[in-house]
């Protein structure tokens, strides 16, 4: 019976090690900036607009709902584009560091 307990204990230790062990360096991908986030969000809004237009033409969305959803998505797209333009203008004015 002690052999079974030893095997269970080893298995438990191995499982806990597998679940909770974190190596020294975990690659999380590139760090996202505000501009990167806004561009990703803009792409999602444009895709939603395309899907909405498709579903409206297919007759799945009533006219009143289509108009309100379209206006909402267009407002969000305009806000995102304005914010992206503002960040781009700030980035253009900011001097970049040069390597020596």
| pLDDT of 97 | 65
| pLDDT of 46 | 98
| pLDDT of 19 | 78
* Residue stretches of the chain with pLDDT short of 70: 1, 22-26, 97-100
Q: Which of 4, 81, 73 is nearest to 38 (CA)?
A: 81
Long-range CB contact pairs, 22-27, < 8 A, 24+: none
| pLDDT of 30 | 82
| pLDDT of 16 | 86
Number of helices and strands in the chain (H, E): 3, 0
């Amino acid at each position: 019976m002690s052999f079974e307990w030893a095997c269970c204990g080893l298995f438990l230790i191995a499982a806990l090690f597998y679940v909770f062990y974190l190596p020294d360096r975990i690659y999380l991908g590139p760090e996202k900036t505000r501009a990167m986030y806004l561009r990703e969000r803009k792409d999602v809004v444009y895709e939603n607009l395309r899907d909405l237009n498709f579903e409206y033409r297919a007759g799945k969305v009533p006219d009143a709902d289509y108009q309100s959803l379209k206006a909402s998505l267009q407002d969000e797209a305009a806000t995102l584009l304005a914010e992206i333009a503002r960040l781009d203008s700030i980035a253009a004015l900011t001097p970049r560091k040069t390597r020596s």
